[in-house]
């Protein structure tokens, strides 16, 4: 598999890496939102978590948007 990755152009590697990072950010933020909703619904013990989780989700998304740059322009 590693050899296959190395055969890809640098531009394609950067593009795939960026797409994977974007998906990871959205996955983390979505999970934080789900946990916050579960706490609010009473399914999980609420110890101030929903607000903290929503803040975490917002920070992750904001940081991701600020780090966007065209591939190859690092």
Q: What is the pLDDT of residues 35-63, one digit of tens each?
A: 888 888 888 776 777 788 788 888 888 87
Neighbours of 29 (CB within 10 A): 19
pTM: predicted TM-score of the whole model, two decimal places: 0.62
The structure tokens listed for 30 are 């979505």
Q: Which residue has the higher pLDDT, 1 or 58?
A: 58
Tell me, what DSSP letter sits at residue 43? S
Q: Which residue has the higher pLDDT, 12 or 47?
A: 12
Output b/e per residue, 46-65; b: 16+ Cβ within 10 A: eeebbeebbebbeebeeebe
Nearest to 61 by CA among 39, 30, 40: 30
């Amino acid at each position: 598999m590693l050899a296959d990755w190395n055969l890809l152009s640098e531009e394609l590697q950067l593009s795939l890496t960026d797409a994977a990072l974007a998906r990871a950010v959205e996955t983390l933020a979505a999970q934080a939102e789900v946990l916050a909703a579960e706490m609010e619904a009473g399914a999980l013990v609420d110890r101030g978590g929903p607000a903290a989780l929503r803040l975490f989700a917002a920070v992750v998304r904001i940081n991701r948007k600020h780090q966007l740059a065209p591939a190859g322009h690092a």
